[in-house]
Chains A and B, each alone.
Chain A
Amino acid sequence: MATKANGRWLVLAIPYLWLLALFLVPFLIVFKISLSQDAIAQPPYVPTFDLAQGWALFRENLSELSFENYGYVLSWDNEFIEAYGSSLWIAGISTILLLLVGYPIAYAMARAPKSIRPTLLMLVILPFWTSFLIRVYAWIGILSPEGLLNQLLIALHIISPDAPLQILATDTAVYIGIVYSYLPFMILPLYAALEKMDETLLEAAADLGCPPFAAFWKITWPLSLPGVFAGCLLCFIPAVGEFVIPDLLGGSDTLMIGKVLWTEFSVNRSWTVSSAVAVLLLMVLVIPIVFYQNLQAREVEGR
């Protein structure tokens, strides 16, 4: 009996400890470093805590922690607040676009004959398996001034060769990139919700004289809401911190917090300020993340 219980606890303890050590503890370290100061040292911040230093020095180090970096990040003189705002804005608009593009596709997939549904589903998932970086990269060749889209439009005499569309290096390109890369994440939860729907409900509505659009609005839409929420959160939260898409497709004036954090870390080499940026980003996202966790737990664990 004892070994049985031990085995049971081992199954729990291994993934639990792994996530504690490599997911939770790192956040605590980020928080601690966000309260430290930059230094020319290895690692490049003070104070560092070393338990071997003894208690007195430890307490002295503790008093050196300050919220200075937060003051720096939250000051209007620097562009951080703007970057948070514009990230939320870009992610929000992209999520709405994703819903508008994804919903009709998911709806049509759920209506399709049962025999071709698995194939359609695989066709949606397949681009997701191909590298994210490659898919973003593919758009550079399409959207650049001498790119394929402009060539097509010039060939069709829609625009003149002298004035190609400037899409690459603008926010529009970022929207296109996000919608393109995250589309499977929007379609899959929507499809899952719509496919489960009982079609006899719509038949009943039609029999009772309800026009199709009203039936959609009163029956299909409310029933698909769990999918809508899951899809939107699954796209919105990572999009806020997106780095690759604004970096490759956006212009120098595209301000997104993921890119700012990256620059602060790798170019300005300020680990303490980038930690403060990360902590604040997490605080902005904590409400949608908790909401998503609850949704996911209910969905997956069947509670």
Chain B
Amino acid sequence: MRKGLSWFNVTSIALGFTFLYIPIILLVIYSFNASRLVTVWAGFSTHWYWQLFQNQQLLDAAWVTLRVAFLTATVATVLGTLAAITLTRYGRFLGRTLFSGMVYAPLVMPEVITGLSLLLLFVAIGLDRGFWTITLAHITFTMCFVSVVVQSRLVTFDRSLEEAALDLGCTPFRTFFVITLPIILPAVVSGWMLAFTLSLDDLVIASFTTGPGATTLPMRIYSQVRLGVTPEINAACTILIAIVTVVVIFASIMTKRQEAERQKAERLAAAG
């Protein structure tokens, strides 16, 4: 078996990544187009970005979206981590099948079903629809993603560390904060980021569960996109892409550094 990549492997990677990135790159390029016609290049301009910052509706929507996403990610991370602990540490308990079913089903559940069912719940209990109902809906589906990310870290780490702390008289509560949490922290942080972007991104569930006064950015973009492609939306999308790219690259550098430090510490511990 030869090592390394064959020409076929290299071609698949090259073509695959071209396919993944070309639409995004074109979108970014055309946000700097001077022409209002999106498909005709008429020179470089930042006109649409200035236009964007004068669009109060869009800015308001962005602010609502960020608040929802921040709150969602924070609560979903706590709930998702608790769910992950029960699924990996509790063994068998009554109703476990139901619980794990409820954790995994939202990962693949079509959004229209989740959105409709949550709306009908909010109507049935007479909750005013708006900011809070969107947030509740987002927490519910994103906590499941957090749970899966955290679980994958919880199953791989050495449980004897936790057991040692418990044997030495540490309370389970303290053990979690002193031993478990620092070890699973990178997964918890990625869980938070995943929940944040999922919430930022969601159109369907937000559209179902929103009420008057709470319009999120995807809803605003969607209603404009339906009327046609505009350079202004290209500019808005470019800013979102830039933010996400910076955050993801920053986070991955952080995790890499943390992982390297952890390995160094482990080596030291083993040597000592």
Give chain A's interface residues, CB within 8 Å of chain B: 4, 7-8, 11-12, 14-16, 18-20, 22-27, 29-30, 33, 43, 101, 104-105, 107-109, 111-113, 118, 120, 122-127, 129-135, 137-142, 144, 146-148, 151, 180, 183, 187, 199, 202-203, 206, 233-234, 237-238, 240-244, 247-248, 258, 261-262, 265, 271, 274-275, 278, 281-282, 285, 288-290, 292-293, 296-297, 300-302
Contact with A along B55-82 (1 / 0, CB 8 A): 0000000000000000000000001101
Closest-CB distance, B197 to chain A (whole angstroms): 5
Collect the chain A residues with CB atoms within 8 Å of residue B44's CB: none
Given the known A-B contacts A15-B143, A133-B201, are A141 and B229 also in contact in the complex, defined by CB atoms under 8 Å? yes
Q: How far is the CB of A287 from chain B (nearest CB, A)?
A: 12
A11-B82, A302-B155 known; A133 and B225 CB under 8 Å? yes
Kindly identify which residue among A104, A132, A137, A234 contacts B108, using a CB–CB cutoff of 8 Å: A234
Would B39 and A243 count as touching, CB distance under 8 A? Answer: no
A206-B1 in contact (CB<8A): yes
Q: Contacts A14-B82, A19-B102, A137-B233 given: A130-B244 contact, CB under 8 Å?
A: yes
State A97–B30 Cα separation when bound (angstroms). 29
| Nearest CB on A from B6, distance (A) | 8
B38 CB to closest chain A CB, in angstroms?
5
Given contact pairs A129-B244, A131-B237, a sample of 10 additional A-B residue pairs in the complex whose CB atoms are under 8 Å apart = A11-B86, A131-B218, A131-B240, A134-B24, A139-B23, A233-B108, A237-B110, A241-B110, A278-B112, A281-B112
| Docked pose: A112 CA to B8 CA in angstroms | 12
> Once the chains bind, are A30 and B112 in contact (CB under 8 Å)?
no
Determine how close the nearest CB of chain A comes to the CB of B122; give it in whole angstroms: 9
> Can you report 9 residue pairs joining A to B where beta carbons are below 8 Å apart?
A11-B85, A15-B80, A108-B16, A109-B13, A111-B5, A129-B244, A130-B241, A133-B221, A301-B155
Q: How far in angstroms is the closest Cβ of chain A from B227?
A: 11
Asked whether, in the complex, the Cβ of B240 is within 8 Å of the Cβ of A130, the reply is: yes
Indicate if the CB atoms of B110 and A292 lie closer than 8 Å.
no
Name the residue of chain A whose CB is nearest to the CB of B155: A302
Min CB–CB distance B191 → chain A (angstroms): 13
Verify A289–B27 contact, CB threshold 8 A. no
The answer to whether A23 and B39 have CB atoms under 8 Å apart is no
In the complex, are the beta carbons of A141 and B110 less than 8 A apart? Answer: no
**Smallest beta-carbon distance B134→chain A, Å:** 13
Contact of A243 among B111, B218, B226 (CB under 8 A): B111
B130 to A: closest C-beta gap in Å: 16
- Within 8 Å by CB of A140, from B107, B197, B229, lies B229
Chain A CB within 8 A of B140 CB: yes
Contacts of B240 in A (CB 8 A): 130-131, 134
**Looking across the interface, which residue of chain A has its beta carbon closest to that of B219?**
A133
Cα A140 to Cα B39 with chains together (Å): 10
B5 and A112 contact, CB distance less than 8 A: yes
Whether B152 and A300, one on each chain, are in contact in the complex, defined by CB atoms closer than 8 angstroms, is: yes
The count of chain B contact residues (Cβ–Cβ below 8 Å) is 90
- Which residue of chain B has the shortest Cβ distance to A102 in the bound complex? B16
Contact of B110 among A112, A148, A242 (CB under 8 A): A242
Contact A241 B111 (CB under 8 A): yes
Q: Are B83 and A15 in contact (CB under 8 A)?
A: yes
> Does B165 count as interface, using CB distance less than 8 angstroms?
no
User: In the assembly, what is the distance between CA of A113 and CA of B13, in Å?
Assistant: 13
Given A105-B12, A129-B197, answer yes or no on A138-B23 (Cβ-Cβ < 8 Å). yes
Q: Is the CB of A296 within 8 A of B148?
A: yes
Verify B26–A142 contact, CB threshold 8 A: yes
What residue in chain A is nearest B222 (Cβ atoms)?
A133
Q: Given A29-B120, A30-B120, A258–B248 Cβ distance below 8 Å?
A: no
Q: With A7-B173, A24-B102, A104-B12 known to touch, is A135 a contact of B124 (CB < 8 Å)?
A: no
Q: Which of B95-150 contact A (CB under 8 A)?
A: 95, 98-113, 116-118, 120-121, 123-124, 136-137, 139-140, 143, 147-148
B79 pairs with A107, CB closer than 8 A: no
Contact between B143 and A180, CB atoms less than 8 A apart: no
Q: Does A300 lie within 8 Å of B140, measured CB to CB?
A: no
Chain A residues, CB < 8 A from B124: 29, 43
Do residues B9 and A112 form an inter-chain contact, with CB atoms below 8 A?
yes
B26 A141 Cβ-Cβ under 8 A: yes
User: Residues of B contacting A137 with CB < 8 Å?
Assistant: 27, 221, 225, 229, 233, 237
Please name all residues of chain B whose beta carbon is closer than 8 Å to the beta carbon of A271 when the two chains form the complex: 120
Query: Are A29 and B108 touching (Cβ within 8 A)?
Result: no
What B residues does A30 contact at CB under 8 A?
113, 116-117, 120
What 9 A-B pairs have minimum CB-CB distances, sorted nearest first?
A241-B110, A26-B117, A108-B9, A104-B12, A138-B23, A105-B16, A15-B83, A237-B108, A26-B121
Q: Are B104 and A292 in contact (CB under 8 A)?
A: yes
